[in-house]
Amino acid sequence: MTKEPFTLYKLIVLYMLDKAAFPLTRNQISEFVQDRDYTNFFTLQQVFAELADTGLIQAKTILNRTQFSITEEGRETLRFFKNRIGSAIREEIDAYFQEKEIELLNEVSVQGSYDKAPSGEYEAHLLARDRGITLVDITLSVPTKELAASVCGNWQKKNQLIYQYLTEQLF
């Protein structure tokens, strides 16, 4: 692969992370890049690895989901080389965030996952964050994998109602 397109992919990822006011998941970035046929999955994974290795982005795993954010070094690099991203691509990214910002934020702010516990039951881990502050962190023990999956799915849909109920009852 030539160096020029690979550099562009790195700059696109940096621009996206800089544009977002919150961390983005690998899937969120990949969806944008691959839907527009900028590059393939494997090249994008190499981009993530190189950006992390050079300290331009940082990764943080929360409930089995890796989130990326731009570092100060990444911002500085982007300031120097932002002009290498064509205006059409920057406009596409800007429009993407304008259209999907709330949806993207909800994906990284509200998380649910489950694991099999040593007892044989399942534990559903539910988390809601706002601007880096944990609002709710609940672990529920349930008897089946199906029920754990259902709890996590319902958490994605009903977290605001549940949070409101908890605060009304506890405060």
User: Residue 21 maps to which CATH number?
Assistant: 1.10.10.10
Average pLDDT of the residues in 82-105: 90
> Last residue of some domain: 108, 129, 161?
108
Range of the domain at 68: 3-108
Phi, psi for 68 (deg, rounded to 5) = -115, 145
Query: pLDDT (tens digit, 9 = 90+) per residue, 31-56?
Result: 999 999 998 989 999 999 999 999 99
- Is the pLDDT at 124 greater than 90, yes or no? yes
Q: What is the count of structural domains for the chain?
A: 2
CB-based contact 18:93 (threshold 8 Å): no
Residues 99 and 117 in one domain: no
Instruction: Tell whether 140 and 87 lie within a shared domain.
Output: no
My answer on whether 70 and 141 are in the same domain is no
- Do 51 and 98 fall into the same domain? yes
Beta strand 57-62 pairing with 110-116 = unpaired
| Residue 139 DSSP symbol | E
Q: Take residue 134 and report the two structure tokens written for it.
A: 């944990």
CA 27 – CA 12 distance, rounded (Å):
15
Question: Do 13 and 81 lie in a common domain?
Answer: yes
Q: What is the pLDDT of residue 1?
A: 44
Do 62 and 75 share a domain, yes or no? yes
End residue of a domain, out of 56, 79, 108: 108
The pLDDT score that the predictor gives to residue 64 is 65
Q: How many helices (H) and strands (E) does the chain have?
A: 6, 6
- CA dihedral (147, 152, 153, 154) positive or negative: positive
